[in-house]
Structure 1
Amino acid sequence: MSSPEEMPQAATPGAVPSPTGIVVGVDGSEQSTCALIWAAREAKLRKVPLHLVTAYTVPIFAASGLDGGYATVDDDVIRQGAEAILREGAAKVAHLEVEMDARVENGDAAGVLVELSETAELLVFGSRGRGGFMGRLLGSVSTALPAHAKCPTVTVPLSCAPRMSEGPEGAEAISKLEKVVTVGVDGSDQARYAVLVAAEQAERSGCTLRIICAVQPYTGSLAWMPAPVDREALFTEIQEQLDAGEKWLLNHFPKLPMEVTLVEGSAVETLVEATKTSELVVMGTRGRGGFAGMLLGSTTEGVRHHAKGPIMVVHDREDPRQGDRSAFGPLLSV
């Protein structure tokens, strides 16, 4: 591993290999520091390289005075500032002794990170970034990444800072966490793939897998329906599908401890609450249909915006393990 002083390099097209481990966005803000520490710990757990990345564009200002034209900021000055931020970040996680490199990219931060996600195993970033290097890497960029990244993404909110501390504060914060990876399900294909990813994460980290399905409470908004909803029958049907799903999952992860919980309540509120005590909460994207109330899609954004802990967002993709799901009992076609 290169020393933090030597590591940051200017990115030259074709000169730097595409990352295959964990990519973390760094911009010098507190948010990105939280994300960096989480990513470094995860890289150590997975035994994969950690890639620190920051990106910038050179600002162009309209020239003032009698002469027309434009003035630009010195590219070298900006790049040197970016390299300094990467060196500082690398120094903060050097004690974890993970294989690590860093790069400065010239371009739109969201576009750069999405491109790197093509080969990365995981993309990690902070949320609600303000200030920091050029004020560009985090914030609104973190909202765009889960929707467009080609690999799973993890958003680490600033409220996780106590968990990332190496001192007594960190030990106390971690002691309040349950050794649990939580995943939200709604019966969709997207949720089933998210469950597989969550199970792998729980197994890797020695956690219990907690599967939660939240069904929206009956409200007056359903008064237009031609027949009243039989809530008891609905819950019975969903529970049968959850039980079948648990059997299927145990077939693929026979030694993994797991809990399956069916609750009546807001999916967003239920999963936000879970972020307070879970090591990680995993969600799919673009859930359609599924159990009443449709857990995924806009719910994913709602949870991310209010989360108190790391959130992993997983895009749907083909997985051969899903092929035998129907053999274990009823499932909802969506």
Structure 2
Amino acid sequence: MGAHEMQPDPARDDDGSAAPEGIVVGVDGSDHGQCALVWAAREAERRRRPLHIVTAYSVPIFAASGLDGGYATVDDSVIREGAEAILKQAMAKVSGYDIDVDASVENGDASGVLLEMSETAELLVFGTRGRGGFVGRLLGSVSSALPAHAKCPTVTVPLICADRLGETTEDKHIKAEQAKSGHQPVENVVVVGVDGSEQARVAVLEAATQAERLGAPLRVICAVPQYSGSLAWVPAPMDRDALFADIRVQLDAGSAWLQSHFPKLAIETKLVDGSPVEVLVEASRHVELIVVGTRGRGGFAGMLLGSTSDGILHHAKGPVLVVPDREDKRLADRASFGPMLGAA
């Protein structure tokens, strides 16, 4: 069965509200958008969820030359026809996947359009550094704006991983980077970054679910930077051995808690000395997926989440899943498994 019209999904969430409406992917005709499209189609097939392909555009307005001081607009129908051609091409590209799929052209700022869709979507997917052509700035700045504000998890797919998705690109910068790094095998592993905050625990739960979908082990990484701004005033060198020992106890307790909710999942934890951004960006070269949370509050290892997740998004060499802060019933029993940040 190939791609066909998306059918309504009657599924409901535990609270009785309508379940999220599948996976939304933003395209703009660029190579970056093509990579995001392929990743999203594969994920829709894995999750057995419908895929919605969207492109957005705004009609540009130019100041008219001459003395009249007026304004001139570009014909909306011309731009819309171009956007529809991009969607037709995208629909053809995913026709071989066993998924329900539809597509739409939206008039408006791309960030605003996708942000609104995030309120009902299960997942938003988009590429990085889109061309920003006549269909507007769908990608590029959108990949920075959406993860921080979206209501659902988001996945950014960088063009550098085109080869692992079976795609090609003529982007000279990407081709040079691919040639420099050479072919690197990708482990079927999901990596999640943690910092001891509640937001990180939410990300860990999503990462574990994704690892199960991929039939992959989960690697939980806590990277401890040498110093953070909040510790700069400390007059004596910090006892890093004691700090690492304390974090290790919390990581082990967190691992036991996670295993209780995912008893069949292979879970490993790694405590490393280094910058969270550098550690996770390097890991992104070799694994299927990196997972981070948003709005972390520092935790026991400096600010992994928040501004640091932006750094990971800008430099990652593979797909990055960003999980928004939200309530989860499974967080309630974490304290019963041992020490955790902020516990008495």
TM-score of the two chains, using structure 2 as the length reference: 0.87
On the 8 A contact 2:3/2:101 being kept in 1, the answer is no
Q: SS at the partner of 2:300?
A: coil
More deviation in 55-64 or 189-198? 55-64
Query: For the residues of structure 1 that align with 2:301 and 2:45, how far apart are their CA atoms?
Result: 39
Render the CA deviation track for 1:79-130: whole Å, top value 9, x for unaligned: 1110000011111111113110000001111000000111000000011112
Aligned CA distance change for structure 1 residues 174 and 210 (closer, same or farther; 3 Å): farther
Offset at 1:292?
A: 2.7
The reply on whether 1:285 has 2:286 as its aligned counterpart is no
Render the CA deviation track for 1:125-168: whole Å, top value 9, x for unaligned: 0111124443411111221111111100000001011011179x
Query: For the residues of structure 2 that align with 1:21 and 1:133, how far apart are their CA atoms?
Result: 27
Query: Which residue pairs with 1:227 in the alignment?
Result: 236
Query: Which residue pairs with 2:71 in the alignment?
Result: 70
Query: Which residue pairs with 1:318 in the alignment?
Result: 327
Q: 1:126-205 residue pairs with structure 2 within 5 A?
A: 126-165=127-166, 176-205=185-214
Query: Which residue pairs with 1:15 in the alignment?
Result: none
Query: Which residue pairs with 2:279 in the alignment?
Result: 270
**Alignment partner of 1:217 out of 221, 226, 230:** 226
Aligned CA distance change for structure 1 residues 56 and 270 (closer, same or farther; 3 Å): same
The reply on whether 1:328 has 2:337 as its aligned counterpart is yes
Q: SS at the partner of 1:294?
A: coil
Query: For the residues of structure 1 that align with 2:90 and 2:69, how far apart are their CA atoms?
Result: 41
Aligned length: 319
Render the CA deviation track for 1:12-66: whole Å, top value 9, x for unaligned: xxxxxx9700000010011010000000000000000000000111111222335
Offset at 1:294?
A: 2.4
Query: For the residues of structure 2 that align with 1:102 and 1:221, how far apart are their CA atoms?
Result: 47
Query: Which residue pairs with 2:58 in the alignment?
Result: 57
Q: 1:76-87 residue pairs with structure 2 within 5 A?
A: 76-87=77-88
TM-score of the two chains, using structure 1 as the length reference: 0.89
Query: Which residue pairs with 2:97 in the alignment?
Result: 96
Amino acid at match of 1:192: R
Q: SS at the partner of 2:287?
A: coil
Aligned CA distance change for structure 1 residues 204 and 325 (closer, same or farther; 3 Å): same
Amino acid at match of 1:217: Q
Identity between Structure 1 and Structure 2 (%): 69
Once superposed, what is the RMSD of the aligned Cα atoms? 2.5
Aligned CA distance change for structure 1 residues 222 and 69 (closer, same or farther; 3 Å): closer
Which consecutive unaligned segments of at least 5 residues does structure 2 have?
A: 7-18, 169-181
On the 8 A contact 1:128/1:138 being kept in 2, the answer is yes
Query: For the residues of structure 1 that align with 2:76 and 2:159, how far apart are their CA atoms?
Result: 30
**Alignment partner of 1:238 out of 219, 225, 247:** 247
Query: For the residues of structure 2 that align with 1:305 and 1:281, how far apart are their CA atoms?
Result: 13
Aligned CA distance change for structure 1 residues 240 and 183 (closer, same or farther; 3 Å): same
Amino acid at match of 2:112: G
Query: Which residue pairs with 1:170 in the alignment?
Result: none
Which consecutive unaligned segments of at least 5 residues does structure 1 have?
A: 8-17, 168-172
Render the CA deviation track for 1:238-293: whole Å, top value 9, x for unaligned: 00000000100010000000110000011000000110111110000111131132
More deviation in 90-99 or 158-167? 158-167
On the 8 A contact 1:29/1:133 being kept in 2, the answer is no
Query: For the residues of structure 2 that align with 1:328 and 1:51, how far apart are their CA atoms?
Result: 40
Query: For the residues of structure 2 that align with 1:48 and 1:139, how far apart are their CA atoms?
Result: 26
**Alignment partner of 1:296 out of 292, 301, 305:** 305
Query: For the residues of structure 1 that align with 2:42 and 2:25, how far apart are their CA atoms?
Result: 12
Query: Which residue pairs with 1:13 in the alignment?
Result: none
Q: SS at the partner of 1:52?
A: strand
The reply on whether 1:124 has 2:125 as its aligned counterpart is yes
Offset at 1:218?
A: 5.3
Query: Which residue pairs with 1:37 in the alignment?
Result: 38
Render the CA deviation track for 1:282-308: whole Å, top value 9, x for unaligned: 000111131132211111001110000
Aligned CA distance change for structure 1 residues 278 and 60 (closer, same or farther; 3 Å): same
Aligned CA distance change for structure 1 residues 89 and 19 (closer, same or farther; 3 Å): farther
